[in-house]
């Protein structure tokens, strides 16, 4: 093996539960803290690639740490070659399947590999991919809001330059959704993109009723109105919707997007780096989106998403929802409503004092 190609020496995973500056309420409950798994991929060249994944619930933290570290032991000595490693992981987990914790672990390892390669080259990952860092228009991602109680926060987002605001729906009946959307639109004005996310909480018939009710408020998109696996339901809602349908954060790996695109499940797509196969999986889906002329946005992971969106031909919006600033030495910055990739690698550096403070035993 060439000396220029680093090899994996060791992989370490740590579970942390970090405070969120702004808890996220959706149709199913409240996310008031961030259960994260931090991945450190040590190489034989003294470089450590980093990434993190969002576990959604504390219950999955220990299984994810175990899965990542056990998989890492099998990868020791192998070159840091993300496409080769993805192929090896496909063979390893083909019979078990890719969804769930396995998919999250594999995607996290892929991102750590790309981070390591960027650090070895002393370049941001976006440059390794053939692009360049540029400001990406971001929207500020909220949970359920109250237009009156949260007016100050919404106006603060506008002061930061955000040109898009996303809120959650489904926390009540259609009349409540209309009240909230109408109130938020009044606060932010007509020129700011307003999105609503139902987090899979409706059936197709109810989704159509609510969308029709919300149509007068110039929504930029309606996100995940029905369960993510109900592709025919998504397609049916889309067919009757006067508002574009957004989906994809819960579709797994490139094949999941191929199936969704083939049935016309949504107008827009928004892969989640943790579920699509990391940077490697993202690139494949970006090709699909380009071929189908579908605008493509990111879901979470603003730091890494800022590297892959510039090489996405149909790049649309970057979602900004702060999950990680509590444990990063240099958190992502929003400047004039935009986020720009930083390097080397993915630009991730842990604040080890904070990690120690929030780490689970």
Number of domains in the chain: 2
Tell whether 119 and 162 lie within a shared domain: no
Range of the domain at 77: 8-123+353-358
Residue 4 has a pLDDT of 77
Asked if residue 3 belongs to a domain, the reply is no
User: What is the model's pLDDT at position 296?
Assistant: 98
216 plus 160 within the same structural domain: yes
**Prior bond to 344 cis, omega within 30?**
yes
Question: Are residues 133 and 226 both part of a single domain?
Answer: yes
For residues 139-158, give the mean pLDDT. 96
* HEC assignment per residue over the chain: CCCCCCEEEEEEEEEEEEEEEEEEEECCEEEEEEEEEEEEEEECCCCEEEEEEECCCHHHHHHHHHHHHHHHHHHCCCECCHHHHHHHHHHHHCCCCCCCHHHHHHHHHHHHHHHHHHHHHCCEHHHHCCCCCCCEEEEEECCCCCCCCCHHHHHHHHHCCCCEEEEECCCCCHHHHHHHHHHHHHHHCCCCEEEEECCCCCCHHHHHHHHHHHHHHCCCEEECCCCCCCHHHHHHHHHHCCCCEEECCCCCHHHHHHHHHHCCCCCEECCEHHHHCHHHHHHHHHHHHHHHCCCECCECCHHHHHHHHHHCCCECCEEECCCCHHHECCCCCCECCEECCCCCECCCCECHHHHHHHECC
CA dist 180 and 145 (Å) reads 7
- pLDDT confidence of residue 3: 53
Q: Is the pLDDT of residue 1 over 60?
A: no
Same domain, 173 and 243: yes
pLDDT digits (tens, 9 = 90+) for 288-323: 999 999 999 999 999 999 999 999 999 999 999 999
List own/partner pairs for 150-156 with CB under 8 A and 24 or more apart: 151/187, 153/22, 154/184, 154/187, 154/188, 155/187
Task: Based on the fold, state whether residues 84 and 143 are members of the same structural domain.
Answer: no
Domain-embedded: residue 111: yes
Do 109 and 150 lie in one domain? The reply is no
Of 93 and 25, the one with more pLDDT: 93
Has residue 32 got a pLDDT over 90?
A: no
Cα gap 324→350, rounded to integer Å:
10
> Is 123 among the residues known to form the active site?
no
Which one of 29-33, 47-51, 87-91 scores highest in mean pLDDT?
A: 47-51
In a domain, 1, yes or no: no
Across the range 107-114, mean pLDDT stands at 98
* Domain identity same for 333 and 262: yes
Q: What is the pLDDT of residue 141?
A: 97
Rounded Cα–Cα distance for residues 299 and 188 (Å): 22
Q: What is the CATH number of the domain that holds 63?
A: 3.30.390.10
* Mean pLDDT for all residues in the chain: 95
Q: Are residues 209 and 337 in the same domain?
A: yes
The band of 345, judged by pLDDT with boundaries at 50, 70 and 90, is very high
Specify whether 173 is located in the same domain as 92.
no
Confidence of residue 27 (pLDDT cuts 50, 70, 90): confident
Q: Catalytic pick from 168, 208, 234, 307?
A: 168
Q: Is 220 a catalytic residue?
A: no
Average pLDDT over residues 210-239: 97
In a domain, 2, yes or no: no
81-95, 172-186, 218-232, 333-347, range with the lowest pLDDT? 81-95
* 16 and 97 both lie in a single domain: yes
Among 208, 234, 275, 299, the one annotated catalytic: 299
Residue 122 has a pLDDT of 96
Q: What average pLDDT does range 123-151 have in this prediction?
A: 97
- 164: CATH: 3.20.20.120
Residue 169: pLDDT above 60?
Answer: yes
> Is there a single domain that holds both residue 140 and residue 260?
yes
Please enumerate in sequence order all residues whose Cβ is within 8 A of that of 153, keeping only pairs 6 or more positions apart, or say none. Answer: 22, 142, 145
Shared domain check, 329 and 206: yes
Token duo for residue 259: 């199936």
Query: How large is the average pLDDT for residues 206-231?
Result: 97
What distance separates the 2 farthest-apart alpha carbons in the chain?
64
For residues 57-68, give the mean pLDDT.
Answer: 96
* Residues making up the chain, counted from first to last: 361
């Amino acid at each position: 093996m060439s000396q220029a190609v680093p090899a994996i020496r060791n992989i370490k995973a740590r579970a942390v539960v970090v405070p969120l500056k702004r808890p996220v309420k959706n149709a199913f409950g409240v996310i008031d803290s961030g259960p994260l798994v931090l991945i450190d991929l040590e190489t034989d060249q003294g470089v450590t690639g980093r990434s993190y994944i969002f576990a959604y619930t504390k219950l999955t933290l220990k299984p994810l740490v175990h899965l990542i570290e056990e998989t890492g032991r099998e990868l020791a000595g192998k070159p840091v070659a993300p496409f080769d490693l993805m192929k090896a992981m496909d063979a390893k987990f083909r019979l078990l399947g890719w969804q769930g914790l396995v998919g999250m672990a594999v995607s996290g390892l892929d991102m750590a590999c790309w981070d390591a390669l960027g650090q070895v080259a002393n370049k941001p990952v976006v440059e390794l991919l053939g692009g360049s860092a540029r400001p990406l228009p971001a929207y500020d991602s909220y949970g359920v809001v109250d237009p009156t109680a949260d007016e100050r926060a919404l106006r603060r987002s506008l002061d930061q330059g955000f040109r898009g605001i996303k809120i959650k729906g489904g926390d009540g009946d259609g009349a409540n959704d209309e009240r909230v959307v109408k109130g938020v639109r009044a606060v932010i004005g007509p020129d700011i993109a307003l999105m609503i996310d139902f987090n899979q909480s409706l059936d197709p018939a109810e989704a159509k009723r609510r969308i029709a009710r919300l149509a007068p408020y110039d929504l930029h998109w309606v996100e995940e109105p029905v369960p993510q696996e109900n592709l025919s339901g998504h397609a049916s809602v889309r067919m009757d919707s006067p508002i574009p349908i957004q989906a994809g954060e819960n579709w797994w790996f490139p094949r999941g997007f191929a199936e969704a695109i083939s049935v016309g499940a949504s107008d827009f797509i928004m892969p989640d780096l943790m579920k699509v196969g990391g940077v490697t999986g993202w690139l494949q889906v970006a090709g699909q989106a380009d071929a189908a002329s579908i605008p493509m946005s990111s879901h979470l992971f603003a730091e890494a998403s800022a590297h892959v969106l510039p090489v996405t031909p149909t790049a649309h919006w970057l979602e900004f929802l702060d999950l990680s600033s509590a444990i990063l030495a240099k958190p992502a910055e929003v400047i004039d409503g935009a986020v720009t990739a930083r390097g080397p690698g993915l630009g991730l550096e842990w604040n080890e004092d904070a990690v120690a403070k929030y780490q689970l035993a």
